[in-house]
């Protein structure tokens, strides 16, 4: 029988620094509450300070000197054990995640499964961190390349995928031989705490992974600015990501940013409409729209616009909104009261801009919803592509439906935002599908599927204001957490000068 992770007494959770679970030097705590029921106090976590961060970075710096020399296949064995432990505890981890984050239990099971998949996948790279071996231009000379670790990695993750996203970052960092200081979102620290406890139980040595909770100002900023940090990996809003880049710039550390999205589903006149409706419901209202890949724009060919809109609205109205632990619930709450207020503000903006509210548009505050942060699934029609609801990331259950007359117009609308994360097309025409695949400028593209559903063995990330060029997941993740070293071995016994002595060879 699988063991369970011990819960601290009185639900006070500590930081992990240099292998020791201990309170912050500040003595302060912050609360973690259930967004479906604000009366439900999940636990209290450390309100850490820059001094805690400094100790964690120092521990990671010292641990790096040993960890980088552990053979990568041995590091992989620890990650394999971690993946097994997560799999054994999947249901309990998912239920805790729903309780602290709000999304429905089926989705949190998927979040945990993604952490399992990513940890297994990246553990395999312990034997596959391939370099290149190439012919030298000179006689009796060997030329090859190898990966080398960078040092201490600062990992800052968001609240919407509180176990999957940490696995995308921490697993690759560890398999490459780096050490980690990890700050989770203050809205979802419990899932991150579980993940770190499992890594510790699997055998990660003291100091290799350090866990510090607290605000961005008190914890995140010193993690980013420290001269002893070699890599910063951040997922969050574009505005905060820009600030992260500026704070990290003076020390020239490597920065990986995964930020916002304003993703589009394009529905052509030959699309399978029922399939497209189901995809837009899942893409727009899954995770209450709180995904960077959420399908918040739907561009529909004028020939099928009205038929699609009628079906889409009917399906959205039928969604059951409630506590994510109830198996009958289709959509959970916003993660916080602040996030719900943002959604409400954008609904008001859409109405004032002249978009037609055809579904939802209101907070749910009575009856079973009275203690949580619930909002109706919301659809705007007659949306112009330049409206703010069609341009700005809302991160909530709000979808804008836009009419188009052709594939070319749909592609122009798709590209007409500052983001470039994910897009999709519904069509039965292979020529249209390939044209859209080529011409829509995003990091991820789907055909006859919604804009969500990325798999861990391919790169994840976007273009333009969505990211800064690096990718998560797949083998591309190794590039964030390692540097290339080219190695030349001359066994000729004499001085050979590349690019100069080649004529005599």
Handedness of CA 282, 286, 290, 292 (dihedral sign): negative
Contact between 290 and 447 (Cβ < 8 Å): no
Q: Which of 107, 125, 258, 376 is catalytic?
A: 258
Cβ within 8 Å of residue 20, ≥6 positions away: 206
Provide the angle, in degrees to the nearest 10, between the axes of the packed helices 90-101 and 189-202.
150
- Please check whether residue 257 is in contact with residue 468, taking contact to mean a CB–CB distance below 8 angstroms: yes
* Residue in the structure block whose two tokens are 């994510």: 324
Selected catalytic residue, list 153, 280, 292, 359: 292
Structure token digits, residue 161: 């995928």
- DSSP H stretches of helix in 230-329: 238-248, 273-285, 305-318
Cα distances (Å, whole numbers) of residue 253 to 60, 226, 276, 445: 16, 10, 43, 30
Helix (H) or strand (E) holding 229: strand 229-235
Give CA–CA dist 103/452, Å, rounded: 15
> Which residues, including other chains, have CB under 8 Å from residue 40's CB and lie 6 or more apart?
33, 34, 99
Q: Is 153 a catalytic residue?
A: no
Kindly give the residue spans of alpha helices, DSSP state H, lying in 234-304: 238-248, 273-285
Q: Count of alpha carbons within 13 Å of 345, Cβ hemisphere only? A: 11
Determine the Cα–Cα distance for residues 44 and 243; give it in Å rounded to an integer: 28
- To 10 degrees, the CA torsion angle through 71, 73, 79, 84? -150
Per-residue buried b or exposed e for 75-85, using 16+ beta carbons within 10 Å of the residue's own CB: bbebbbbbbbb
106 vs 282: CA distance, rounded Å: 13
How big is the chain, counted in residues? 505
How many helices (H) does the chain have, and how many strands (E)?
15, 24
Active site residue 404: no
Distances in whole angstroms, Cα of residue 312 to Cα of each of 49, 59, 79, 203, 381? 48, 53, 43, 49, 11
Owner of token pair 């979808």: 399
C-alpha distances out from residue 496 to 15, 499, 502, Å? 55, 9, 9
The rounded distance, in Å, linking the Cα atoms of 321 and 301 is 30
Active site residues: 258, 292
């Amino acid at each position: 029988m699988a063991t369970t992770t011990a819960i601290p007494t009185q639900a006070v959770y500590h930081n992990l620094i240099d292998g020791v679970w201990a309170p912050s030097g500040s003595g302060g705590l912050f609360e973690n509450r259930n967004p479906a029921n604000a009366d439900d106090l999940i636990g209290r976590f450390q309100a850490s300070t820059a001094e805690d961060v400094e100790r964690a970075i120092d521990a990671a710096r010292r641990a790096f000197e040993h960890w980088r020399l552990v053979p990568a296949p041995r590091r992989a064995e620890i990650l394999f054990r971690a993946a097994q432990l997560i799999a054994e505890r999947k249901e309990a981890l998912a239920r805790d995640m729903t309780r602290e984050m709000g999304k429905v239990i089926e989705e949190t099971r998927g979040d945990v499964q993604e952490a399992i998949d990513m940890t297994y996948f990246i553990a395999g790279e312990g034997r596959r961190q391939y370099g290149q071996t190439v012919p030298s231009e000179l006689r009796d000379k060997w030329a090859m390349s190898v990966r080398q670790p960078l040092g201490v990695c600062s990992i800052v993750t968001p609240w919407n995928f509180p176990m999957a996203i940490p696995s995308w970052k921490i697993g690759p960092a560890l398999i490459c031989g780096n050490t980690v200081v990890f700050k989770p979102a203050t809205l979802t620290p419990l899932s991150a705490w579980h993940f770190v406890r499992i890594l510790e139980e699997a055998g990660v040595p003291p100091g290799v992974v350090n866990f510090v909770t607290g605000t961005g100002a008190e914890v995140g900023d010193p993690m980013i600015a420290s001269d002893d940090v070699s890599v910063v990996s951040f997922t969050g809003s574009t505005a905060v990501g820009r600030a992260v880049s500026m704070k990290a710039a003076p020390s020239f550390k490597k920065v990986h940013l995964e930020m916002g999205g304003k993703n589009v589903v394009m529905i052509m006149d030959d699309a399978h409409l029922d399939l497209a409706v189901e995809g837009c419901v899942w893409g727009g209202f899954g995770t209450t729209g709180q995904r960077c890949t959420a399908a918040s724009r739907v561009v529909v060919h004028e020939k099928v616009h009205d038929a699609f809109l009628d079906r889409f609205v009917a399906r959205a109205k039928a969604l059951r909104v409630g506590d994510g632990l109830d198996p009958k619930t289709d959509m959970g709450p916003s993660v916080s009261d602040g996030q719900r207020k943002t959604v409400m503000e954008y609904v008001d903006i859409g109405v004032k801009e002249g978009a037609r509210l055809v579904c939802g548009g209101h907070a749910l505050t009575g009856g079973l919803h009275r203690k949580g942060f619930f909002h109706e699934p919301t659809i705007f029609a007659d949306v112009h592509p330049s409206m703010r609801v069609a341009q700005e990331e809302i991160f909530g259950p709000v979808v804008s439906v836009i009419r188009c007359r052709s594939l070319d117009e749909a592609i122009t609308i798709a590209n007409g935002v500052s983001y470039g994360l994910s897009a999709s097309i519904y069509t039965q025409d292979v020529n249209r599908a390939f044209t859209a695949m080529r011409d829509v400028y995003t990091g991820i593209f789907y055909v006859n599927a919604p804009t969500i559903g990325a798999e861990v063995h391919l790169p994840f990330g976007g273009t333009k204001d969505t990211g800064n060029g690096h990718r998560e997941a797949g083998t591309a993740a190794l590039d964030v957490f390692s540097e290339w070293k080219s190695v030349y071995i001359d066994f000729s016994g004499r001085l050979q000068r590349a690019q100069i002595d080649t004529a005599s060879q």
